[in-house]
Amino acid sequence: MNAASNHRPLAGQTALVTGASSGIGRAIAVGMARAGADVVVNFVGNEAEAVAVAEQVAAHGVRALVHRADVSQEAEVVAMVDRAVQELGTLDILVANAGLQRDAPLHEMTLAQWQRVLDVNLTGQFLCAREAVREFLRRGPVPQRSRALGKIVCISSVHEVIPWAGHVNYAASKGGVMMLMKSMAQELAAQRIRVNSIAPGAVRTPINRDAWSTVAAYEALMQLVPYRRIGEPDDIAQAAVWLASDDADYVTGTTLFVDGGMTLYPGFERGG
């Protein structure tokens, strides 16, 4: 789908994208707008960046709402969803994207580093999903807008299955997201709420700048990527739009790996 496309599979819907001021979240917010959805642009730190994303969203002729909230704080998440409903009418789509890394070798990792990553990456997804589901159930079905009562897309990582030395907090959080997503999908399917994950591989964003910003680092990274290119944020955005659309109406409880083959055991290209 390109910017000139008039295919708007999410027309009339409202999407909340957490962590939307940069990286993958930013691309997803713009992708949702391009597909016709109004977008709540959540951010926690950088308001100027969030406002810039909202401008890009609005350029697609939809409404944008910029809202600051730390997704790990229950009261802030409740207030965010309340405001979205007040100002935009309801919520049809949640993209639980906000996430961070606090890397350290295990023997040096502080409890604070462990806790912050689990709080944002896992508890944050739980809190946002819970509030979104409460709104889906309150609003009830609107079949002319979507066959589903609501859609949740969890942004996970290849590290929901690939162990990651030096990043045990992050890998544990994403392993948790996998079972959170599947258990929610099982619990909510009867209500016609679809819950899926996207597991990005190495995507060109600020979170992993060290892994792609020099030629040597990029070459080393490509040893882990059979498709031999880094992912771009829009690779993830296109997958998110599809999962949120009725084109994916029979898809629930699954993880879509968008990783250029990173999960294909690239070490086995030769040998074994």
Residues that bind ligand BGC (CB under 6 A): 101, 157-159, 201-202, 207-208, 211
Cβ proximity to ligand BGC, 85 vs 258, nearer residue: 258
What residue has token string 């990043």?
167
CB of 16 closer than 8 Å to CB of 40: yes
Q: How far is the CB of 95 from ligand BGC (least distance, A)?
A: 16
For residue 246, the Cα-to-chain-centroid distance in whole angstroms is: 18
Rounded distance, CA 181 to CA 95, Å? 12
Cβ proximity to ligand BGC, 53 vs 158, nearer residue: 158
Q: Which DSSP letter does residue 9 get? A: T
Q: Is 39 helix (H, G, I), strand (E, B) or coil?
A: strand
Cβ proximity to ligand BGC, 115 vs 218, nearer residue: 218
Instruction: Report the half-sphere exposure of 101 (CA within 13 A, side-chain side).
Output: 18
Residues 6+ apart with CB under 8 A from 174: 121, 156, 157, 159, 160, 199
Q: How far is the CB of 61 from ligand BGC (least distance, A)?
A: 32
Cβ proximity to ligand BGC, 101 vs 255, nearer residue: 101
Q: How far is the CB of 207 from ligand BGC (least distance, A)?
A: 5
The dihedral sign for the CA sequence 235, 242, 29, 156: negative
For residue 177, the Cα-to-chain-centroid distance in whole angstroms is: 11
Q: How far is the CB of 2 from ligand BGC (least distance, A)?
A: 26
What are the strands of the beta sheet with 14-17, ordered from one edge? 64-68, 38-43, 14-17, 93-96, 150-155, 193-200, 255-258
Residue 265 is a catalytic residue: no
Cβ proximity to ligand BGC, 158 vs 185, nearer residue: 158
Q: How far is the CB of 105 from ligand BGC (least distance, A)?
A: 16
Catalytic, out of 170, 227, 250, 265: 170
The dihedral sign for the CA sequence 219, 224, 227, 230: negative
Dihedrals phi, psi of 191, to nearest 5 degrees: -90, 5
Active-site residue list: 170
